[in-house]
Structure 1
Amino acid sequence: MLLFGHIGVTLGVFFVLGIFIPRLKSIINPKYLVIGALLPDLVDKPLGRVIFSSTLANGRIIGHTLLFSLTLLLIGLYLYKKREDIRIISLTVGSFFHLMEDQMWAIPKTLFWPFMGLNFPKNYTDYTGMEYLIRMIKNSFTFSFSYSSISEVLGMGVIVILILHWLIKKFGQSKI
């Protein structure tokens, strides 16, 4: 899943749950939820695919583990208890959603790291480092029918709906 998929799907699930559990909107900060939805990739892609590409060769490492999300949760609970600050808890929820959207249960060696060994699975590709970044940029502008493209379109749709909802709420129906 890519940028719009993670953001849109996470926000969509959050706002649908908010309809059934209204208190959720007061205990989760949507801005930090979005950052959390991207956080595992923001940590792992540069580390595993660019900086340590020759040794790790994997864009799903530390940030894609339950240990990462649980550590964020513990930090978030501590900060909430000390300062009633929900931002880290919101990051945690977004990070956990990311793991579900990436279907990390299919890669238990990564999801349950380090309990199933200290090494991460390697992705064998013929490109690493900067070439990986160039391919990612190129692939972002090339449409192909896949699971990722479906989630990207779905995510974009959710984002458009939420923006329209926000505009209508902010400016009223008669001004749009």
Structure 2
Amino acid sequence: MLLFGHLGVTLGIFFGLGIFIPRLRTIIDPRYLAIGAILPDLIDKPIGEVIFASTFYSGRIIGHTLLFSLLLFMISLYMYERGRDIRGLSLASGSFLHLFEDQMGADPQTFLWPLFGWSFPSDSRDYIGVEHILEMFEASFHLEFLQSHITEILGLVIGFVLAYYLSKKLIGNEEF
């Protein structure tokens, strides 16, 4: 899943659950939830696919581990206990949802790192670094790419619906 898939699906889950569990809206900040939803990719993609591409060959390394999410959660829990700051919990929640959206349970060597060793599985790609970014950009114009990235399209749709809803709320001062 890419940017819009993670953002749209995570925010869609949050706002959907917020309808049935109104208290959720008071304990999660959607701005930090959105940042958390893309945080593992913000960490791993530049490191594993650009900066150290010849070492890792993967965009799923440290940020895509359960250990990372648990450490982030522990730090955010400490921050919450110290000052009732919900931003860290929102960030950790988004990061944790990212792991499920990427189906990291199907890759236990990365998900449960370092239980199965210190190395990360590497993708079998014949390109590294900036070449990867250019290939993704070129592929985005092909129909097969769009069909295989249906979650991106779903994420965009959810994003537009949420933006429309929030703009109506701000204009009309309605209660969420």
Same structural fold, with TM-score higher than 0.5 when normalized by the shorter chain: yes
Q: CA 1:147 to 1:108, structure 2 compared with 1: closer, same or farther past 3 Å?
A: farther
Q: Is 1:48–2:42 an aligned residue pair?
A: no
Structure 1 residue 134 displacement after superposition: 1.4
Which amino acid letter does the alignment assign opposite residue 150 of structure 1?
Answer: I
- Cα displacement string for residues 140-164 of structure 1 (whole angstroms, at most 9, x for unaligned residues): 4444256752101111111111111
Q: 1:19 to 1:151 in 2, by over 3 A?
A: same
TM-score (norm 1): 0.93
Once the two structures are TM-superposed, the CA of residue 124 in structure 1 deviates from its matched residue by: 1.1
Residues 5 and 148 in structure 1, CA contact (< 8 A), matched pair in contact too: no
- Structural RMSD (CA): 1.6
Counterpart of 2:80, as a letter, is Y
| 1:104 equivalent in structure 2 | 104
The residue aligned with 1:25 is 25
Question: How far is 1:136 from its partner?
Answer: 2.5
Match of 2:4?
A: 4
Whole-angstrom distance in 1 between the partners of 2:44 and 2:147 = 21
Pairing 1:73-84 to 2, within 5 Å after superposition? 73-84=73-84
Q: Is the 8 A contact 1:28 1:89 kept in 2?
A: yes
- Structure 1: unaligned runs, 5 residues or longer: none
Query: Residue 39 of structure 2 aligns with which residue?
Result: 39
Cα distance in structure 1, aligned partners of 2:83 and 2:24: 19
Percentage identity across paired residues of the two chains: 56
Residue 19 and residue 39 in structure 1: after superposition, are their counterparts in 2 closer, same or farther (change >3 A)? same
Aligned to 1:89: 89
- CA positional deviation for 1:172: 3.3
Amino acid at match of 1:112: L
Question: Which aligned pairs between 1:49-68 and structure 2 lie closer than 5 A?
Answer: 49-68=49-68
Cα shift readout 1:69-113 (whole Å, capped 9, x = no counterpart): 000001000111111111111111000111000000110000000
From the superposition, tell whether residues 99 and 28 of structure 1 become closer, same or farther in structure 2 (CA, over 3 Å): same
* 1:107-126 equivalence runs, <5 A: 107-126=107-126
CA distance in 2, matches of 1:61, 1:146: 25
The 8 Å contact of residues 139 and 145 in structure 2, kept in 1 or not, is answered as no
Give the TM-score normalised by structure 2.
Answer: 0.93
Assess, with a 3 A threshold, how the Cα gap between structure 1 residues 148 and 64 changes in structure 2: closer, same or farther: farther
Of residues 91-100 and 138-147 in structure 1, the stretch that sits farther from structure 2 once superposed is 138-147
| Equivalent position amino acid for 1:144 in 2 | E
Separation in 1, partners of 2:145, 2:139? 12
- Distance in 2, matches of 1:160 and 1:151, equals 14
Q: Secondary structure at the match of 2:55?
A: coil
